[in-house]
Amino acid sequence: MSLPIWTPAALSSEARSLSGAWWRLVEAQHQVSTMKLVDTVDEQVLLESLLEETKPAFPPDCAGLDYLLATPFRYGGVYPNGSRFRRAGRTLGVYYAAQRVETALAEMAFYRLLFYSESPATPLPANAAEYTAFSALIQTSAALDLTEPPLLRDEAAWTDPVNYEACQALADSARTAGLAAIVYRSVRDPAGGRNVALLSAGAFAERQPVERQTWRIRLAPSGVQALCEFPRQRLGFAITDFASDPRLAAWGRAVKP
């Protein structure tokens, strides 16, 4: 399949407004991983400040942002494998989020299963892991929407489950055009929810997350179970829900519940 060609000038003419709260998940251990290494709160603060000094710098538009929002934009780090809208290597950061928490959970479930499918000698964890889901307010007049015409005509390229070349080329052109966000359909969510890829931290309307939830996610040979205590929610994904990706489709046939 040949790559769709969208020049920066053509993309500029398709810019539209985007606003609302978008969800992202991180492992909850980001809050407590250093506690076991120290004896007091003051020592933990000192340790975390020292660790912070060793990490790549933030770009200027991250000034004042909560670290949950700013971390994907750090400069200087080598991005190992690439993702849908970010090339591998020493490349500019992208903040990925979902319009609904259920879509964010589907994305997390897929990538956790993918990790174990590509590490067949690693056993699935026996216990559920804790994750923090948080929403951030986004507001920009410089967004692209791949779920609407005319960009929708290249949907097959934007939703390829494995090959991200078309999306990465689009992101390059979008950055050249000064665009800040790309809305796209989730390939991993069985319900086809919408995701956003922020190319600039300047698209955040608030400097802090506006809502947080705690989720416990358990991986099993049959799929993924997710539980939130407040507000009370349960969600499950079968491995077959991600069968559009050949990597998990093959693993699902090999792993027996």
Q: Give tens-digit pLDDT for 151-195.
A: 999 999 999 999 999 999 999 999 999 999 999 999 999 999 999
Out of 50-64, 133-147, 204-218, pick the least confident.
50-64
User: Would 44 be classed as within a structural domain?
Assistant: no
pLDDT of residue 119: 87
Q: Decide if 76 contacts 70 (C-beta within 8 A).
A: no
Q: Domain count for the chain, please give it.
A: 1
Range of the domain at 228: 8-31+58-254
Give CA–CA dist 31/25, Å, rounded.
Answer: 13
User: Would 37 be classed as within a structural domain?
Assistant: no
pLDDT of residue 206: 97
User: Would 163 be classed as within a structural domain?
Assistant: yes
pLDDT of residue 40: 72
User: Would 237 be classed as within a structural domain?
Assistant: yes
pTM of the model: 0.90
pLDDT of 254 over the 90 cut: no
What size, in residues, is the chain? 257
User: Would 70 be classed as within a structural domain?
Assistant: yes
User: Would 126 be classed as within a structural domain?
Assistant: yes
Helix, strand, coil percentages (3-state) for the chain, rounded to 5, are 35, 25, 40
pLDDT of 147 over the 90 cut: yes
